[in-house]
Amino acid sequence: MASLQKAQYNQLQNHYWRIANKRLILPVILFALLAAPSTREITVAVLSDAFWQVAAYVAATLTIYHIIANKMSQKSKLKTLLNSNSRYQVIFAALMGALPGCGGAIVVITQYVRGQLSFGAVVAVLTATMGDAAFLLLATEPSTGLLMMVIGCCVGLISGWIVDATHGSDFMRPEVKPKQNTVATQHEKITSPTVLKLQGQFWKWVLAPAIVIAIMGSLQIDIDQAFKLSAGTIDIIGTIAVIMALLLWATSRDITDYESAVSEDPKLASSHMYQRIAQDTNFVTSWVIGAFLIFELTIFWTGVDLQGLFSNWALLIPLMGVMIGLLPGCGPQIIVTSLYLSGAIPMSAQIGNAISNDGDALFPAIALAPKAALIATLYSTLPAIVAAYGYFFLFE
């Protein structure tokens, strides 16, 4: 009897392991690609570039962001702004949405449900936000990233004012205030604090040398020659470093549903700044690696020129960016930004996606006010189509 119970327990444990470690699929695929001689060179190049050209800059951008946020004493200033004249609610929401990441948008959604912000503010913030894809764009093309923030803020501002003038501030507001901590509590229970600490320690010690090497690479300095290393050594170091980061990311949280797969990891209240930086950096990097590998391996295995293929469907590409923006979560949006950075899709598609996507903010919006979330998402799609095709016909 005892042996039977033990066997059942082991079976349950094995079943739980398979479900709880779905993120390990990515590192396993990477190891397989590195082991195969035909794909090793491509994979090393992608992983090295992902670490030195993306992860290092994203981590540095996040560090600056968190330092500024901590200095600003957000809670007291936020309260003052929310209690100010209602005419400025849409302006406040558009500015919050323009901030990189999804935190500002989630704050606005919560305050709308509590009756402190208008429905126009919800439309403004969902239109302005670009989610975690903003960190990627700011890290790799700062001028383009800032341009996207300005465009999103302006379009969100106009959209929010029009919506409030049309529907009024209380449009679609839910009557009953739902419990807001249930989802966060569930996510916290399935997050490994030990691995979170290791992620934080990893980026705490790696960030400074990584950003130095990243800047040297951006200045077209031969890193191997500068440090008197064998040719290709810095690529191998970058590959090892990014795999370590991905292994920590893969074992830090369970994947239980679509949201946990495509959205950034929830932050524990006790998390140190570097833990938060590591969580978002590793999340962005994992999706960037996936996008870059799909792009490079498709060309390698099929010989298809994706950039040329997309150009044959040029008129539909901006619409594609807008439609992908309707998907909740930051993961799909990071793929679009990665394709833009690789030159596969044009700026018009990036603009359409940046305006239409709601990032992770759509998840709490659906949970707290599903009807309002649906209408606000549809309203943010219209200016995204106008802006994307306006740019397409004027400049492309």
Alpha-carbon span 314 to 395, nearest angstrom: 13
Q: What is the DSSP string of 190-210?
A: TB-HHHHHHHHHHHHHHHHHH
- Is the per-residue pLDDT at 181 higher than 90? no
* Most distant pair of Cα atoms in the chain: their distance: 76
Does residue 107 or residue 389 have the better pLDDT? Answer: 389
Cα separation, 182 vs 107, in Å, equals 16
Question: Using alpha carbons only, how large is the chain's radius of gyration in Å?
Answer: 22
* pLDDT tens-digit readout, 290-318: 999 998 998 899 888 777 778 788 899 99
Q: What confidence tier does 82 reach under pLDDT thresholds 50, 70, 90?
A: low
Handedness of CA 154, 137, 274, 280 (dihedral sign): positive
In tens, the pLDDT along 334-391 reads 999 999 998 889 999 999 999 999 989 889 888 888 988 999 999 999 999 999 999 9
Instruction: State the Cα–Cα distance between residues 237 and 239, nearest whole angstrom.
Output: 5
How many C-beta atoms surround the C-beta of residue 15 within 10 A? Answer: 10
Q: Which comes out higher in pLDDT, residue 271 or 126?
A: 126
Summarised one tens digit per residue, pLDDT across range 2-59 is: 554 444 445 444 444 444 578 899 999 999 999 999 999 999 999 999 999 999 999 9
Tokens 């309260």 sit on residue: 79
Under 8 Å between Cβ of 55 and 242 = yes
The sign of the dihedral angle between the CA atoms of 84, 85, 89, 91 is negative
62-81 pLDDT, tens digit per residue, is: 998 888 777 655 555 555 55
Give me the pLDDT at residue 15, please.
45
Please tell me the distance from the alpha carbon of residue 112 to that of residue 309, in angstroms, as a whole number: 43
Between CA 166 and CA 251 the distance in angstroms is: 48
Spatial contact of 139 and 54, defined as CB atoms under 8 Å apart: yes
Number of Cβ within 10 Å of residue 378's Cβ equals 12
The CA angle 381-329-153, to the nearest 5 degrees, is: 45
Predicted local distance difference test score (pLDDT) of residue 33: 97
Give Cα 2 distance to the centre of its chain.
48
179 falls in which pLDDT band (50, 70, 90)? very low
pTM comes to: 0.84
Looking at residue 5, its pLDDT comes to 47
Query: In percent, how much of the chain has pLDDT > 90?
Result: 59
Lowest mean pLDDT among 141-150, 165-174, 187-196, 298-307: 187-196
